[in-house]
Amino acid sequence: MSRKMQSALTFLQQFGSLFAMSPHTTPGDQRTTHFGYQEVPVDEKASRVADVFHSVAARYDVMNDLMSFGIHRLWKRLTIERSGVRPGHSVLDIAGGTGDLTLKFSRMVGPRGRVVLADINESMLRVGRDKLLDNGVGGNVEYVQANAESLPFPDNTFDCITIAFGLRNVTDKASALRSMTRALKPGGRVLVLEFSKPVNPLLSKAYDEYSFRLLPRIGQMVAGDADSYRYLAESIRMHPDQKTLQEMMEATGLERVEYTNLTGGIVALHRGIKL
Amino acid sequence: MTLPPTLLLAGIERTLNALLARDPAAPSRLARLSGNRLLLRLERPELSLAIHFHPAGLDLLRPEAPTEDAFDAVVELDAETLGELLGGKSIERLMFQGKLSVRGSVQLLEATRDLLLDLDPDWEGELARWLGDVPAHGLAEGLRRATRWGRRAHGEMRSDIAEYVFEEAKLIPGKHQFENLRDHLTELEMTTDRLEARLARLRRQLEREAEL
């Protein structure tokens, strides 16, 4: 097997592992978190996450397109349309990864506004920064390596905060939502775009077939690793459903929390306002 | 049904940006428009469309409850007027007819229309990237010849059909014949009216004489 092929297979295995991680904490003497349907120590998970993100950053966009058939771009587009961002606004794009949302936001806020692309992973930030610079985006964008659970910004800083496909990977989701609400200006909006629960039983069945049967087989055929792709489906099932996430957002003090199911609830866009 | 309109808009945006990227004249036009925002409010179907210009093209968004002060120009029109606008009809005339309302910079609307109507993508250059210079030039020349021939053939066919229908077979009257006939009929109508009026006056005159 050529080195190039070996590298590609390693990448696919690691990418599968990335989606498998849906960490959360459970009470007890030792903090644990989800790794698919398994529980692993938080410290171990953190280092694995870092390694995986460092590894997949360069091809993150391509894999997202491949696994969602490109629909993730429409989901993100709808998030932007619902953001209400205007010229002069300050926007925080948490877990912004390769900068899909930041690119559009930077044009919407204009030279008087500011967009902060935050990600916990340095490699993702570097890829995002390079991509944005290649697209001519510069002056009004800042890059911050930050943990969503403890955002390094003063209270009431941003008009809009978004987190797209990132909350699932945050260890303590409630803490992250509290941190976002704190950094949000009164009147500002938090938007959470994340995998959720399909509302149609038929779609749910088809989605399960795709996730638990087809994806692992593709993983087995392409990367020789079915488990990582099974974890991907498991981690999505471990994420709070629409109602639960809505209640979690309301518990942090956000008001008028509502959600929109996209693609039959496979993904949901939650929005809350700080009053 | 949230995603289909978003998909449609994303498709239009992608197509326009791809065309703009292939038009050698587009960068200078976009540089002038960059940073401007135009809000298009369609009445039927009801739709708000925000156009954000940037150096590489434009973003099309459906903003939720947009505020007008965030835009350099706000344009209100219906789908028919949009068609006329993109068909090249004068903006001033449409405004004068009350079909088009513009608040803010009218020049931005004109520049936007010009940007879209004057699009002239360099197809040959794009083909050359894929096929090489010589095959691309040959193919482009062939397409240009075919287009010229098609236009000429279309014009000649229309002319021949018109000549046969109006002149040779005389199946229906031509436009000039029709107008000539209409003028004659109008004149006949006026003459008949005058005659009727004269007869009425004569009748009244005879009735007065009979009474005396």
- Between B85 and B121, name the one with better pLDDT: B85
Per-residue confidence (pLDDT) for residue B192, from 0 to 100: 96
Per-residue confidence (pLDDT) for residue B166, from 0 to 100: 83
**A136 to B62: CB separation less than 8 angstroms, yes or no:** no
pLDDT band with cut points at 50, 70 and 90 for residue A12: very low
The minimal CB distance from B67 to the residues A86, A108, A260 is found for A86
Angle at the Cα of A153 from the Cα atoms of A147 and A159, rounded to 5 degrees: 105
Per-residue confidence (pLDDT) for residue A8, from 0 to 100: 46
Helix locations, B42-165, DSSP H: 79-86, 91-96, 106-117, 123-131, 133-162
Q: Does B8 touch chain A (CB under 8 A)?
A: no
Does residue A229 have a pLDDT over 90?
Answer: no
Alpha carbon of residue B133 to chain centroid: 36
Q: Does A87 touch chain B (CB under 8 A)?
A: yes
Q: What is the mean pLDDT of residues B101-120?
A: 89
pLDDT in tens, A87-101: 899 999 998 888 889
Q: What is the mean pLDDT of residues B62-89?
A: 87
Per-residue confidence (pLDDT) for residue A32, from 0 to 100: 72
Shortest Cα distance, chain A CAs vs residue B7, angstroms = 7
The minimal CB distance from A87 to the residues B2, B64, B70 is found for B70
Token reading at A71? 């629909």
Does residue A29 have a pLDDT over 50?
Answer: no
Give just the sign of the alpha carbon dihedral A272, A274, B5, B9. Answer: negative
C-beta contacts of B8-14 below 8 A and 24+ residues apart: B9/A77, B9/B49, B9/B60, B9/B61, B9/B62, B10/A73, B10/A74, B10/A77, B10/B60, B12/B60, B13/B57, B13/B58, B13/B59, B13/B60
Residues contacting A11, CB < 8 A, separation 6+? A55, A56, A59
Which residues in chain A touch residue B57, judged by CB atoms under 8 angstroms apart? none
CA distance A162 to A273: 12
Per-residue confidence (pLDDT) for residue A15, from 0 to 100: 46
Per-domain residue ranges of chain A: 3-68+198-238, 71-196+239-273
**B55 to A136: CB separation less than 8 angstroms, yes or no:** yes
The residue of chain B nearest to residue A76, with distances taken between CA atoms, is B6
Q: Does B64 touch chain A (CB under 8 A)?
A: yes
Which residues in chain B touch residue A141, judged by CB atoms under 8 angstroms apart? none
Q: Does B10 touch chain A (CB under 8 A)?
A: yes
Shortest Cα distance, chain A CAs vs residue B64, angstroms = 6
Share of chain B above pLDDT 70, in %: 99
Interface of A with B in 16-35 (CB under 8 A): none
The residue of chain A nearest to residue B11, with distances taken between CA atoms, is A74
pLDDT in tens, B170-180: 888 888 888 99
| CATH code for the domain defined by B3-117 | 3.30.1050.10
CB-defined contacts A:B, below 8 A? 43
Question: In terms of DSSP bridges, do strands A158-164 and A184-195 run parallel, antiparallel, or are they unpaired?
Answer: parallel
Per-domain residue ranges of chain B: 3-117, 124-172, 173-212
Q: Does A108 touch chain B (CB under 8 A)?
A: yes
Does residue A127 have a pLDDT over 60?
Answer: yes
In this structure, of A18-22, A123-127, A194-198, the range with the lowest mean pLDDT score is A18-22
Does residue B20 have a pLDDT over 60?
Answer: yes
ipTM: 0.72
pLDDT in tens, B146-162: 999 999 999 999 999 98
Tell me how far apart the terminal alpha carbons of chain A are, to the nearest angstrom. 59
Per-residue confidence (pLDDT) for residue B4, from 0 to 100: 79
pLDDT in tens, A62-115: 767 777 788 889 999 999 999 999 989 999 999 888 888 999 999 999 889 999
Shortest Cα distance, chain A CAs vs residue B59, angstroms = 8
pLDDT band with cut points at 50, 70 and 90 for residue B67: confident
Please, are residues A245 and A192 in contact by the beta-carbon 8 Å criterion?
A: yes
pLDDT in tens, A153-173: 999 999 999 999 888 888 889
Per-residue confidence (pLDDT) for residue A270, from 0 to 100: 96
Helix/strand/coil for B12: helix
Q: Does A131 touch chain B (CB under 8 A)?
A: no
Per-residue confidence (pLDDT) for residue B121, from 0 to 100: 78
Per-residue confidence (pLDDT) for residue A37, from 0 to 100: 65
Helices (H) and strands (E) in chain A, counts: 11, 9
- Between B28 and A215, name the one with better pLDDT: B28
Share of chain B above pLDDT 90, in %: 42
- Between B125 and B29, name the one with better pLDDT: B29
Domain A71-196+239-273 belongs to what topology? Rossmann fold (3.40.50)
Shortest Cα distance, chain B CAs vs residue A91, angstroms = 16
Residue A267 sits at φ, ψ, to 5 deg, of -130, 145
**A74 to B54: CB separation less than 8 angstroms, yes or no:** no
CA distance A267 to A70: 14
Q: What is the mean pLDDT of residues A135-154?
A: 91
Q: A69: alpha, beta or left, given left = phi > 0 and alpha = psi -120 to 50?
A: left
Q: Does B35 touch chain A (CB under 8 A)?
A: yes
Q: What is the mean pLDDT of residues A120-148?
A: 89
The minimal CB distance from A80 to the residues B56, B61, B70 is found for B61
Per-residue confidence (pLDDT) for residue A36, from 0 to 100: 60
H or E segment at A93? strand A90-94
Shortest Cα distance, chain B CAs vs residue A239, angstroms = 23
Q: Does B171 touch chain A (CB under 8 A)?
A: no
Most confident of A20-34, A40-54, A176-190, B175-189: A176-190
Per-residue confidence (pLDDT) for residue A9, from 0 to 100: 45
Q: Does A86 touch chain B (CB under 8 A)?
A: yes
Which residues in chain A touch residue B9, judged by CB atoms under 8 angstroms apart? 77
Single-letter residue type at A18: L
- Between A145 and A12, name the one with better pLDDT: A145
Polymer length of chain A: 275
Q: What is the mean pLDDT of residues A12-35?
A: 48
pLDDT band with cut points at 50, 70 and 90 for residue A190: very high
Does residue B9 have a pLDDT over 80?
Answer: yes
pLDDT band with cut points at 50, 70 and 90 for residue B38: very high
The minimal CB distance from A74 to the residues B6, B54, B55 is found for B6
Which residues in chain B touch residue A84, judged by CB atoms under 8 angstroms apart? 63-65
The structure's pTM equals: 0.73
H or E segment at A242? helix A242-251
Does residue A17 have a pLDDT over 50?
Answer: no
User: Which residue, B63, B5, B61, B53, is CA-closest to B31?
Assistant: B53
Q: Does A84 touch chain B (CB under 8 A)?
A: yes
Average pLDDT of chain A to the nearest whole number: 81
Question: In terms of DSSP bridges, do strands B37-42 and B73-77 run parallel, antiparallel, or are they unpaired?
Answer: parallel
Please, are residues A123 and A53 in contact by the beta-carbon 8 Å criterion?
A: yes
Does residue B62 have a pLDDT over 80?
Answer: yes
Which residues in chain B touch residue A263, judged by CB atoms under 8 angstroms apart? 3
Interface of A with B in 228-257 (CB under 8 A): none
Polymer length of chain B: 212
Q: What is the mean pLDDT of residues A223-247?
A: 77
- Residue B158: Cβ within 10 Å count: 10
